[in-house]
Structure 1
C-alpha cells in the first residue's frame, strides 16, 4: 500500500514510519522542514517537503505520493502549561482544523481510499457518567473555557473525517502517551516535577487517566491502516487509573516522596482550572473495540510495568 504520513517527524511519526516501511508499505513522509529529509530516508520513506497549512503545498504532496491511504498525525504540542491550556494547544488546534481540511481536500481530489487521523481520548470525553468510556460516548459537551478550543478542534477533525463518504475515514483516540519522544519519557520535565515533589494530588485525585506506550500506539495505527473499518477506535492500555492511584505509584518508581494532597482551590491557583479538571474529573477509555476489531494487543498492557523512569 502507498501511504502518506503527515506529521512524520513527531513522536508518533518516528515510531510509525519505520514500522510501515518494515511491513512492506511504500511510505511517503510529509515534513515541513527540509532538514528532516535525510532521517526520513534512513527510516525507509520518501520525504516530501510541504507545509500542512498551505493547501497548495498539501495538494502537490498528495499528487506526488499518489497514496492509497493518508495518515494524519499533525500536532505541535510542546510543554503543556495547564494554567494556559488553550495557548499550549493553539498551534495543534489549527492543524486539526486547517490541516485536516487541507489533507481531506487533497485526498478527495486524488481518490484516496483510506484516511486515518489522530484524535485524543485522554482529555476529551464528557466528564459525567461512568469512569471508563467507549467509542460511542460523546466528547465533552460543556468543557471549561481553557479546554474548549482543543475539544472543538478535535470535534471538527472527527466530524470531517467520519463524514467523508468518499473514503474510509478512521479516527484513533489515543490515550496519554509515554515512552520515547513523549512528555513522559525518562528525564522529562513532567517526571522531574514528580521526582521533586512539585506535582501534588488535587482534591481526591479522582480523574481517570488512560495511558498508552507510544510504540503500542504506533502498532495499533499500523493495524488500523491495514484493516480498520470506518469509525472511531480508542487506543489505550488495559489499565485506566485515577490520579490518586497512578501518581503515587509513579512517584515511588522515581524514588520520590508520596505526593502531597492539596484542596481544589489551591490546585486552581497553581495549575489553573484545566489542571484541576485533569486531576479530578477526567474519564478513562476502553480499548475493547480496538482489540476486537484490529487484532491488536498492547505489548505494555499497563503503565505500571511499561512506564520507565530511567
Structure 2
C-alpha cells in the first residue's frame, strides 16, 4: 500500500517508516524541518516538507502522494522540557490535534483515501475508577482547568477521525512511550531520563497514578497492524503491565543507576504546577490492549516495561 505518514521524523514516525518499508509498503513521510529530509530518505521514505497547519500545503502534499492510507503522528512534543517550552509544545500539539487533524481529513477525503490512522493518548482516560480501561470508555470529559484545552484536543481528534463515513477512521490510544528516540531512553539528550537521574521527576503524593507504558517499536508495530488490518474505532496500544508511578519510577531509577526519586506532597505540586500534573501522577488509569491483540494480531516484543526498561532503552 501507499502510506502518507504525517509526522514521519518523530520518535514513532521513524520507527514506522522502517517497519512499513520492511513490509513492502511505499511511504511518503512529512517533516516540518528540511534538515530531516535526508534521514527520512535514508530510511526508505519519499520525504516532503509540509506545514501541517496550512490547509493548502497539506492538500497539495496528499493529492500529489495519492495514498491509500493516511497516518497522523503529528505532535510538537520535542525540545527542552522547562515550563515555558512545555506550555509552547502543548499549545502547538493541541493545534496539530485539532486544526492539523481537520486539514488531513479534508485532504484525505479529496484524495479518495480509504483509511485514516491517528495518534491519541491513553493517559487521560475518564477518571471513573482505578480499574483498567478498555476501548468502550472515553477520554476524560471534565479534566482539570489547566489541561482542559489539551484533553479537549484529544477528544476532538478521536471524534473527528472515528466519525468519518467515507473511510475507516482509527484512533490509537498509546501508552507512555519509551525507547530509542523518545524522552525516556538511554540517549544523553533524553529529557525525561535526565530528569530522573537528577531527581527532578518526583513521586507526587502517593504516586498512585497508574501508567500503561509501551516500547516505541511495539507502538509502531501496532500502528502497522492497524494500517493493514484495522477497522473503524479506537484501539489501545500499551504493554500488559500497567503500574503505579510509585512502582515503576523507583525501578527505572534503579536500572538507570540514579538515586531514588524524591517524594513531593500533592498539595505543593498543585500550587506550583497546577491540578493537571497532580491528576496524571495520582489518578491516571491503566488500560488493557486486549482488543488490539485480538483484532489486529498484535504481539509485543516487550510485554512488560520491566524487561523493556532493562533491555530496550537504546
Give the shorter-chain TM-score range: over 0.9
| 2:117 alignment counterpart | 116
Secondary structure at the counterpart of residue 130 of structure 1: coil
Moved more, 35-44 or 10-19: 35-44
| 2:30 alignment counterpart | 30
Secondary structure at the counterpart of residue 58 of structure 1: helix
Q: Deviations over 1:172-191 (max 9, x none)?
A: 01111001111111232322
Q: What is the CA-CA distance between 1:262 and the residue it aligns to?
A: 2.7
| 1:213 alignment counterpart | 215
| 1:47 alignment counterpart | 47
What is the aligned counterpart of 1:285 among 284, 287, 291? 287
| 2:305 alignment counterpart | 303
Moved more, 217-226 or 198-207: 198-207
| 1:148 alignment counterpart | 148
Q: What is the CA-CA distance between 1:86 and the residue it aligns to?
A: 5.0
**1:46-195 alignment to 2 at 5 Å?**
46-78=46-78, 79-80=80-81, 87-122=88-123, 124-186=124-186, 187=188, 188-195=190-197
* Cα separation, 2, equivalents of 1:189 and 1:36: 20
Q: Deviations over 1:38-72 (max 9, x none)?
A: 22221111122221111111111111110000001
Alpha carbons of structure 1 residues 272 and 88: separation in structure 2 relative to 1, 3 Å: farther
| 2:246 alignment counterpart | 244
1:86–1:147: 8 Å Cα contact kept in structure 2? no
2:7–2:13: 8 Å Cα contact kept in structure 1? yes
* Cα separation, 1, equivalents of 2:160 and 2:299: 28
Structure 2, gaps ≥5 residues long: none
Moved more, 273-282 or 261-270: 261-270
Secondary structure at the counterpart of residue 277 of structure 2: helix
* Cα separation, 2, equivalents of 1:196 and 1:28: 39
Q: What is the CA-CA distance between 1:256 and the residue it aligns to?
A: 2.9
Q: What is the CA-CA distance between 1:125 and the residue it aligns to?
A: 0.7
| 1:196 alignment counterpart | 198
Q: Deviations over 1:63-102 (max 9, x none)?
A: 1110000001111012455799654411011011111111
* Cα separation, 1, equivalents of 2:50 and 2:98: 17
Structure 1 vs Structure 2 CA RMSD: 1.8
Q: What is the CA-CA distance between 1:126 and the residue it aligns to?
A: 1.1
Moved more, 155-164 or 80-89: 80-89
TM-score, normalised with respect to structure 2: 0.93
Structure 1, gaps ≥5 residues long: none
Moved more, 228-237 or 76-85: 76-85
Secondary structure at the counterpart of residue 285 of structure 1: coil
Q: What is the CA-CA distance between 1:261 and the residue it aligns to?
A: 2.5
Secondary structure at the counterpart of residue 147 of structure 1: helix
1:131–1:208: 8 Å Cα contact kept in structure 2? no
Alpha carbons of structure 1 residues 305 and 271: separation in structure 2 relative to 1, 3 Å: farther
Secondary structure at the counterpart of residue 116 of structure 2: strand
Q: Deviations over 1:8-43 (max 9, x none)?
A: 111111100111111101111122233322222211
1:174–1:236: 8 Å Cα contact kept in structure 2? yes
